[in-house]
Amino acid sequence: MATSEFVNYVVDLLAPYGYIRVRPMFGGHSVYRDGVIVAIIVGEELYFKVNEQSVCDYRNRGSKPFTYKARDKVINISYWQVPLDIMEDKELFGNWLDVAYQISLNTKNKKS
């Protein structure tokens, strides 16, 4: 589970970009921007929501997907680790967050 120190750090990073709320979830935390899930925190890692197009940016920076094991299978979900250099650059971080937010909105709208 993520430490509250890391969760607080992530909330501080995200605060300038909208109303941020974090909720405990399956041993980690879900991160919401303006009521829409955009990320998860597991351990000491932040993962943003991705789609087929945005995942290339993550791969190009050496990022990895969030995975978990269930019934002897490795499960990939559409969240990828936010690279450290992105987290340290406010402008890039905001851009990547905006992309994750739009992906989540589009996913939510498709389900409705």
Q: CA nearest 54: which of 75, 29, 82, 33?
A: 82
pLDDT digits (tens, 9 = 90+) for 44-69: 999 999 999 999 999 999 999 999 88
Phi-psi region for residue 5, left (φ > 0), alpha (ψ -120 to 50) or beta?
A: alpha
Provide the token pair at 17: 């970009």
pLDDT of residue 110: 64
Beta bridge partner(s), residue 23: 30
Over residues 9-45, the pLDDT tens digits come to: 999 999 999 999 999 988 899 999 999 999 999 989 9
Global pTM value: 0.91
Largest Cα–Cα distance of the chain, in whole Å?
A: 41
